[in-house]
Amino acid sequence: MHAPYGENGHYLFSAEPLMSGEAHKMANYKKSVEGKTWRLLSETPESPYTIESAIESWLKSKSAVDSSSVAFWRWVDSALIYVLKKVAMAAIISLQGVFVTTFTIADKIAYILAKGINLAENVSIWVECLMSKLMQALGMKVAQSKEELTRNLIRTVLMQITERANKEARNALRRL
């Protein structure tokens, strides 16, 4: 996303990682705007930040992240919402019907625990990807497995990324 000049910013697509030199070569800029008017560029929807497949691609990408970038914070916002929705939906689906049946309490607890294992397998990839991006942005050693992502570590990462967001916001206000 390029900074606004007089009005809104303009989204210029690039397949290159933002921090690479390739992303900023004039040939790539020219290719991304070729045949487009200023009006068309300014009307480009913010789809890269809201389309699920784009969020998944960003989460899985190995490209470097920069917490001083406005685009990074938009990706984090969208990715966090995406991952939380995935986890919440999987939890709701896994618990549906558990309390409708006439099974004993032991049966119900066993069912929930078994579903919890499946839930972790089906959804944990997105939690792992999100945490990897956040840890990378913070300069932390990235967890290599979901077993390393303890509740305390996740809380620490979330607290530190919140502090970083506040710091970036204060810096932006100072520059005004």
Domain locations in the chain as residue ranges: 1-44, 49-175
pLDDT of residue 141: 93
pLDDT of residue 138: 94
Q: How many residues does the chain have?
A: 176
pLDDT of residue 117: 43
Euclidean distance between the first and the last CA atom of the chain, given in angstroms as a whole number: 19
Burial class (CB in 10 A: 0-12, 13-18, 19+), 88: exposed
pLDDT of residue 154: 86
pLDDT of residue 169: 85
Rounded distance, CA 137 to CA 77, Å? 14
Residues 85-106: tens digit of each pLDDT:
877 777 666 666 555 556 666 6
Q: Print burial letters for 149-173: b (CB count within 10 Å at least 16), e (below 16).
A: beeeeeeebeebbeebeeebeeeee
CA atoms within 13 A on the CB side of 138: 23
DSSP 62: -
pLDDT of residue 1: 44
In this prediction the pTM is: 0.58
Positions in the chain whose pLDDT score sits under 50: 1-2, 45-49, 116-117
